Amino acid sequence: MNYNETLKGIYPPITTPFQNDELALDKLAENIQKYNQTELSGYVVFGSNGESVFLTSEEKLILISSVKEHADSNKKIIAGTGLESIKDTIFLTNNAAKIGADFALIITPSFYKAAMNHHAFISYYTAIADSISIPLIIYNVTKFTNVNIVSETISELAQHPNIIGIKDSTENITQISESINNTPDDFVVLVGTGSVLYPGLNAGANGGVLALANIAPNECLQIYNLFSEGRLEEAKEIQNRLLPVNKAITSKYRVAGLKAAMDMLGYFGGLPRKPLQELSLNDKKDLKTILEKANL
């Protein structure tokens, strides 16, 4: 099966709404219903912005189920079910699959950083891919893991029939290009952050999983569509306009900032879960200015 066609496009790694530090499923439903109106290809539940590390297994399954319930039937559901433990990952992934996850996004294990070499990654991903009932997408996000899965390893893993793609959140355009060059044509490469959407598409990426798509789905889609139509200068212009916004929600103010921006732009963001801290009033003002400058 050629997943290039199935998986192409733009995905928001959706945030997890909390009220009083507990899941707020009604707010999740409202957000999803808004996103359903767009051409977004689907939803990533538990990308790095989903605060999945702060959720129990039960909460994770409830969320996946809830997203499935409210998502339009043509939207793909990608669930971030990777954990350090191979057993836990297989168990959680297969449960997620039963309640609606179409694809599993599996983050690189990273606790024993110095030991996470080629052989360890091959061992980890092969064991999981062999035992899960949905296709596996590798997730490389060095800023959170401090480990990197290199091109040679990706290239070998891409031979596995159940490992069908990678979400690369390194912002390293060379590495993204290598992932594209050194894997079969039907291996899916999604960039993992808005700052490299346009460069990534230029390099041949199939789309992106973008925190930015939580607050500016249509602008992200415009970049994607303009690029597809060969209207490069127009695509680049929007990309450049959004760069400061992307920086604000991913590196300057991060999850708390992304959620605050959602509140400012008509979605439900709310507060991050403990121990993450709310933005200060000053930071919110600064964030608002950044959004306004980008015409959001």
Coil, helix or strand at residue 41: coil
Say if CB 17 and CB 45 are below 8 A apart. Answer: no
Among 173, 218, 263, 283, binds a copy of itself (CB under 8 A): 173
204 vs 27: CA distance, rounded Å: 36
User: Quick one: tokens of 105?
Assistant: 């996004």
**Smallest Cα–Cα separation from 271: which of 283, 258, 281?**
258
Number of C-beta neighbours around residue 1 at 10 A: 9
Site for a copy of itself in 208-267 (CB under 8 A): 232, 236, 239-240, 243, 247, 251, 254-256
Establish if 152 lies at the interface with a copy of itself (CB under 8 A): no
User: Quick one: tokens of 46?
Assistant: 């538990």
31 vs 25: CA distance, rounded Å: 10
Find the catalytic residue in 60, 68, 75, 167: 167
Say if CB 197 and CB 245 are below 8 A apart. Answer: no
Establish if 146 lies at the interface with a copy of itself (CB under 8 A): yes
Establish if 25 lies at the interface with a copy of itself (CB under 8 A): no
Among 1, 20, 74, 114, binds a copy of itself (CB under 8 A): 114
Establish if 3 lies at the interface with a copy of itself (CB under 8 A): no
293 is catalytic: no
Among 1, 73, 74, 111, binds a copy of itself (CB under 8 A): 111
Establish if 203 lies at the interface with a copy of itself (CB under 8 A): yes
Shortest distance, CB of residue 12 to a copy of itself, whole angstroms?
Answer: 18
Among 18, 35, 103, 121, binds a copy of itself (CB under 8 A): 121
Q: Kindly report the backbone phi and psi dihedral angles of residue 172, in degrees, each rounded to the nearest multiple of 5, phi listed first.
A: -95, 100
Among 73, 74, 266, 274, binds a copy of itself (CB under 8 A): 274
Among 23, 24, 25, 120, binds a copy of itself (CB under 8 A): 120
Shortest distance, CB of residue 165 to a copy of itself, whole angstroms?
Answer: 19
Identify residue 2 by its one-letter amino acid code.
Answer: N
> Which residue stretch of 6-14, 153-161, 169-177, 261-269 sits at the interface with a copy of itself (rule: CB under 8 A)?
169-177
202-206 contacts: CB < 8 A, separation 24 or more?
202/227, 202/232, 203/173, 203/176, 203/177, 204/177, 204/180, 205/176, 205/180, 206/4, 206/7, 206/8, 206/9, 206/165
Establish if 55 lies at the interface with a copy of itself (CB under 8 A): yes
Judged by beta carbon, residue 78 or residue 92, the one nearer a copy of itself is 92
**Smallest Cα–Cα separation from 214: which of 76, 14, 10?**
14
Coil, helix or strand at residue 13: strand
Establish if 84 lies at the interface with a copy of itself (CB under 8 A): yes
Kindly list the residues in this chain that would bind a copy of itself in the complex (CB under 8 A): 48, 53-56, 84-88, 91, 109, 111-117, 119-121, 123-124, 127, 143-144, 146, 171-174, 177-178, 181, 195-196, 198-199, 202-204, 232, 236, 239-240, 243, 247, 251, 254-256, 274-277
Active-site positions read 167
